[in-house]
Amino acid sequence: MRHADMNPAAPCNPFGGLTRLKAAERKLADIHFLVDKEVEELRTTGVDTMQREAEKFNDNFDYQAASMHRSMSTTSHRSMSTTSHRSIGE
């Protein structure tokens, strides 16, 4: 290995530092690209997850509302039949 390869700032290789700087800039650009890609994937995954959770919540809400409606409907029929039996029997 030559001295200039070991020390890029050596006088016999005035552009060695610039070459390493360019390589570092390329690596940094690659890292930024990968981070941006990962962030976008996480954002997409997060949105999908939130949509699934919202759908589960709505399904559960609809089920509970239907159960309450059935329960109230049954209760009102019972109370009507009890009231009508009392008035007939009295």
Instruction: Write the DSSP string, 31-76.
Output: HHHHHHHHHHHHHHHHHHHHHHHHHHHHHHHHHHHHHHHHHHHHHH
Q: Which pLDDT does position 26 carry in this prediction?
A: 94
Look up the pTM and report it.
0.42
pLDDT value at position 70?
Answer: 83
The predicted structure's pLDDT at residue 1: 47
**Tokens linked to 49:** 């997850």
Kindly list the averaged pLDDT for each block of 10 residues, start to end, along the chain of length 90.
54 69 93 94 87 90 86 66 54
Instruction: Tell me what pLDDT residue 20 has.
Output: 86
As a whole number of Å, the CA-based R_g of the chain is 37
pLDDT at 18: 78
Q: What is residue 15's three-state secondary structure?
A: coil
Distance CA 19, CA 30 (A): 17
pLDDT at 45: 87
The domain limits of the chain are 3-89
